[in-house]
Structure 1
Amino acid sequence: MAEHKTSLFAYNLGNSFLHKCPAWVKLIFIPVINIALLLIPEFYFVIVPFFIVVLFCIELSAKIKLNEQLTDIKPVLYYAILLFLFDLLTVNYFELENIKSELLKTFSWENQKETVFFLLKLIAIMQTSSLFFRTSTSLEIRNAISKIETKLRRNNKKNSFTQVIFLFLNFIPMVSKTFNQLKLSWKARSGKPGIKMYVTLLPVLFSVSIKKAWNMSRALSIRN
């Protein structure tokens, strides 16, 4: 159970307001909130950190633990590291006398403010996504998508996009859970974390994920 909860966007059993809120309502409003976040101009920088704190408190009230919240925003941290490494590569190391000043200039607040602002927005977006997935079951998500598509259609034809969108939304949680299971198997065989682990497990992850997605798709087709 602990392994499942520390998977990316894994569902958390609960009876909070967000758990009781219809999934279709969350499915409509969360993308709207995320788009609004992306459109916030840099002039209103302070709004985003404040919103992150509010979301943090909301997640705690929904019984989403700190380690689970950190799991869901971890991809943004990896992205931030990649941006940091990219900035390091852009520094001119041929002028040895000016390396220190070049580094200070590259990582000055003026040059990094826009990047930091964007990363904070991504953290907030990941938090809203976390709230959606951790308070909505797979069945609730599928029914919500089906309900929205039914309302949008003007005829009684069979919903054709529900299954595709449902599989797309559940792809990341499924892959994360599968990779956690593979890592546990690796450690159980006395394997150590490192490059060798990723080289060995990534092809297996790809194969297992494709098989699981196919099985899920077939199951949904049979039920329809």
Structure 2
Amino acid sequence: MGMTKDTAFSYKPGSSFLHRCPAWIKILLIPVVSVAVFKLPFYCTIWLCIMQVILAFVLKFSVREQLRDLKAILYYAVFLIFAKLIGSVASGQLEISGFIRNETETWILLLKLLCVMQSASIVFKTSTSLQIREGLESMELAVRRLFHAKKETPVAQAVSLFICFIPQVSKNWQQAERAWKARGGKKSLRMFIVLLPVFFSVGMKQAYNSARAISIRQKTSA
């Protein structure tokens, strides 16, 4: 149980208003927030980020849990800034004060991405895999009724399987990394070279087993 809680985008049990909110509403809010973040002025993004952090603490998400879900954006930020620094050094125009001032658009983009990622994190942490699947199925059913479409392919099932696999991917990597460290290995380039093939192999096997289980279930219900 502890391993699941330590993975990115993992569900955190609770009884807050967001935990009780229907999953389909939270799922629809992600694209709405994302569009708003990139369309509204920059100061709106700042206020939204502040509100998200406050909401996360109200929901009793620790700083560590929040940073774990935002790790991908933080890594991307470090890589992007490092690449731009290298470019500035190569062109002989590196001035720290000028760099910070001239890269305003980069900082704004990173903050917007951080805001979008935080929205997704809150949805995942307040919704179980079952709730997400049922929410997507409700949305699919509503759309099919609106356009009088027949249910020929399980779109919601496929999408929910993909979405709910994200926390599992994080869990697989953390398990591999902990096993590596338990054997005395250090976090280095060699760790990634050794673990990545195992990581992909485990993920592919789990995806195959999930697809096979769904196929058997469909044949049984038919």
Same fold per TM (> 0.5)?
A: yes
Correspondence for 1:25: 25
Contiguous gaps of at least 5 residues in structure 2:
none
Does the CA contact (< 8 Å) of 1:7 and 1:177 recur in 2?
yes
Correspondence for 2:5: 5
Correspondence for 2:157: 163
Displacement, 1:20? Answer: 0.5
Does the CA contact (< 8 Å) of 1:149 and 1:159 recur in 2?
no
* Alignment partners' CA distance in 2, 1:220 and 1:64: 33
Does the CA contact (< 8 Å) of 2:70 and 2:117 recur in 1?
yes
* Alignment partners' CA distance in 1, 2:28 and 2:21: 12
Call closer, same or farther: CA 1:105–1:64 in 2, change over 3 Å. closer
Map 1:49-198 onto structure 2 (within 5 A). Answer: 49-91=46-88, 93=90, 99=92, 102-104=94-96, 107-109=99-101, 111-153=102-144, 154-198=148-192
TM-score, normalised on structure 2? 0.89
Aligned amino acid, residue 52 of structure 1: C
Call closer, same or farther: CA 1:195–1:92 in 2, change over 3 Å. closer
Aligned amino acid, residue 215 of structure 2: S
CA offsets per residue over residues 22-54 of structure 1, 9 Å max, x none? 1011111221111111222xxx32221221111
Aligned amino acid, residue 120 of structure 2: S
What's the % identity of the aligned pairs?
Answer: 40
TM-score, normalised on structure 1? 0.89
Aligned amino acid, residue 206 of structure 1: F
Call closer, same or farther: CA 1:221–1:145 in 2, change over 3 Å. farther
**Number of matched residues?**
215
Correspondence for 2:214: 220
Please state whether the residue corresponding to 1:179 is helix, strand or coil: helix
Displacement, 1:159? Answer: 4.7
Displacement, 1:181? Answer: 0.8
Call closer, same or farther: CA 1:187–1:166 in 2, change over 3 Å. same
Please state whether the residue corresponding to 2:60 is helix, strand or coil: coil
Contiguous gaps of at least 5 residues in structure 1:
none
Please state whether the residue corresponding to 1:193 is helix, strand or coil: coil
Does the CA contact (< 8 Å) of 2:85 and 2:94 recur in 1?
no
Please state whether the residue corresponding to 1:108 is helix, strand or coil: helix
Correspondence for 1:14: 14
CA offsets per residue over residues 90-111 of structure 1, 9 Å max, x none? 22547xxxx4x533476131x2
Please state whether the residue corresponding to 1:77 is helix, strand or coil: helix
Please state whether the residue corresponding to 2:70 is helix, strand or coil: helix
